Amino acid sequence: MSVLTVALPVALALGASALIACVWSIRRGQFDDLQTPSVRLLVDEKPIQPSSGDESNDEKIN
């Protein structure tokens, strides 16, 4: 029975903190756009074009 006096408040505190974190993230807009991050992985980025200078950036050493 003495275990319940410790375990129950700890469980309630963890549950309350999870609920507060969930409400906070909903109010901050973390769940507004669930579609775009998964599609962003499939979109290829445009390749980087080399500069039009005489020397390429790969050959320059500081």
Number of domains comprising the chain: 1
Distance, in Å, from the CA atom of 15 to the CA atom of 4, rounded to the nearest integer, reads 16
Q: Say which residue the tokens 């129950």 belong to.
A: 8
At residue 45, φ and ψ (nearest 5 deg) are -85, 155
Asked, for residue 44, whether it belongs to a domain, the answer is no
pTM of the entire predicted model: 0.54
**Banded model confidence at residue 7, pLDDT cuts 50, 70, 90:** very high
How far is it, in rounded angstroms, from Cα 61 to Cα 3?
A: 66
Is 23 inside a domain boundary? yes
Residue matched to tokens 């074009």: 49
Predicted confidence (pLDDT) per residue in 15-31, tens digit: 999 999 999 999 999 88
Residue 62 placed within a domain: no
> Rounded to an integer, what distance in angstroms lies between the CA atom of residue 25 and that of residue 10?
23
Q: Are 33 and 39 contacting, i.e. CB atoms less than 8 angstroms apart?
A: no
Domain that holds residue 14: 2-29
Is residue 12 included in any domain, yes or no? yes
